């Protein structure tokens, strides 16, 4: 197996303390948002054999196993991260596989540079993802019942928001949500900025369930995404709980530390809470305008002690082992590639002792045991 040396990405929304606390390092004062573990070419993990993407490229079948290569191609199909949100991420949505393939092909044919700020599709893959909380973790996920959203907005008492409240009472629900989101994203920016400022002041006065929206406006003053956020379900995960985010579901992470796993893709369409490009027509084509429950996941334990977070896709499978002192070693040998990440204690993967925040890549078929005490996340695929 290969001990991984991983890159920490310094995005502006990152916490300055959460990842250093996990790793036992001194904070630099700069945001540390995501630690990437995997073979993504943007920041591949490093091993003694070289960057992990180059190690895999040299012999995909040996590293990934024939079943995974046959199903997903000669590349690691997932990216594992530790994500530390100190401020809200953009309100966003991901395409499904067919939409991603079509969108990528269209932008390629149009000659849009891959790094252009207005480009929507960086690759031809979908990006389902799962976030598992290591600390209390707040986010927004999926459309709430339109009447609940209408009540939240109406309570602000802002006259310029009354038309949106009326629209949310219309039927069918999907059409109401689409019409309100469209109106928010196409409104005059100066008028919307005044509305958001007034709404944020009211949210701060009201406090309680409205307080998060005042905080959003503090980070993104005048942004229509502050109002759009009121259309979504607020959700708080407790440590060990997780949230699966499929295609077309609008969402945003607000704050907290978690382990995130996703299909190996960069495709994001933004709805708000960002200075970045918002392609309204494409966004409206991708978003699923249907009320949904957030669907908090709790792991299902197996006799081996492995706790699995069940999801409906095969590009990744996330589980964890919470190992007590004196527990017998657990065989985790698999025919698929694995990344093992410690988040507590000092467990051992084979002969490698892992401190919190340390990880290893285990090639397909390599005999591996977990021993020692601590919590280990296991990322692999279903092939």
Just list the catalytic residues: 270
Measured in whole angstroms, the distance separating CA 58 from the mean position of its chain's CA atoms is 30
CB 301 within 8 A of CB 360: no
Q: How many CA atoms lie within 13 A of 215 on its CB side?
A: 14
- Phi, psi at residue 371, to the nearest 5°? -145, 180
Helix axes 146-154, 173-186, angle to 10 degrees: 40
DSSP state of 329: P
Tell me the C-alpha distance between 105 and 108, whole Å.
5
Sequence-distant (≥ 6) Cβ neighbours of residue 214 within 8 angstroms: 200, 201, 203, 204
Which segments of the chain does DSSP mark as H helices, in order?
Answer: 18-23, 52-58, 60-64, 66-72, 97-109, 146-154, 162-168, 173-186, 189-206, 211-219, 225-228, 280-286
Q: How many CA atoms lie within 13 A of 327 on its CB side?
A: 20
Helix axes 211-219, 189-206, angle to 10 degrees: 140
DSSP state of 13: T
CB 218 within 8 A of CB 196: no
CB 213 within 8 A of CB 149: no
Sequence-distant (≥ 6) Cβ neighbours of residue 73 within 8 angstroms: none
CB 32 within 8 A of CB 84: yes
């Amino acid at each position: 197996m290969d001990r991984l040396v991983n890159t920490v990405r310094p995005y502006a929304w990152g916490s300055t303390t959460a990842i250093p606390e996990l790793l036992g390092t001194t904070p630099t004062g700069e945001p540390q948002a995501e630690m990437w573990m995997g073979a993504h070419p943007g920041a591949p993990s490093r091993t003694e054999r070289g960057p992990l993407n180059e190690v895999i490229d040299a012999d995909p079948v040996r590293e990934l196993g024939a079943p995974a290569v046959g199903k997903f191609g000669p590349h690691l199909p997932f990216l594992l991260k530790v994500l530390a949100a100190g401020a809200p991420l953009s309100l966003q949505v991901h395409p499904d596989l067919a939409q991603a393939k079509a969108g990528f092909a269209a932008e390629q044919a149009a000659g849009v540079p891959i790094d252009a700020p207005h480009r929507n599709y960086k690759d031809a893959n979908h990006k389902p993802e799962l976030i598992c909380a290591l600390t209390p973790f707040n986010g927004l996920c999926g459309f709430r019942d339109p009447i609940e959203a209408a009540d939240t907005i109406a309570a602000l008492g802002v006259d310029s928001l009354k038309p949106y409240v009326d629209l949310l009472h219309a039927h069918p629900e999907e059409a109401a949500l689409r019409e309100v989101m469209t109106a928010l994203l196409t409104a005059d920016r100066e008028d919307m900025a005044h509305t958001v400022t007034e709404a944020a002041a009211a949210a701060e006065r009201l406090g309680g369930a409205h307080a998060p929206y005042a905080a959003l406006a503090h980070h993104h003053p005048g942004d229509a995404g502050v109002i759009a956020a009121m259309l979504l379900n607020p959700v708080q995960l407790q440590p060990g709980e997780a949230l699966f985010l499929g295609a077309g579901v609008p969402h945003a992470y607000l704050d907290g530390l978690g382990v995130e796993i996703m299909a190996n893709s960069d495709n994001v369409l933004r709805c708000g809470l960002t200075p970045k490009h918002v392609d309204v027509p494409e966004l409206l084509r991708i978003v699923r305008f249907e009320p949904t429950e957030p669907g908090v996941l709790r792991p299902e334990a197996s006799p081996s002690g492995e706790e699995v977070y069940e999801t409906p896709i095969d590009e990744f499978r996330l589980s964890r082992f919470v190992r007590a002192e004196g527990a017998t070693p657990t065989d985790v040998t698999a025919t698929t590639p694995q990344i093992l990440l410690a988040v507590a204690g000092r467990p051992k993967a084979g002969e490698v002792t892992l401190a919190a925040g340390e990880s290893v890549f285990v090639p397909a078929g390599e005999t591996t045991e977990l021993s020692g005490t601590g919590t280990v996340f296991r990322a692999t695929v279903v092939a």
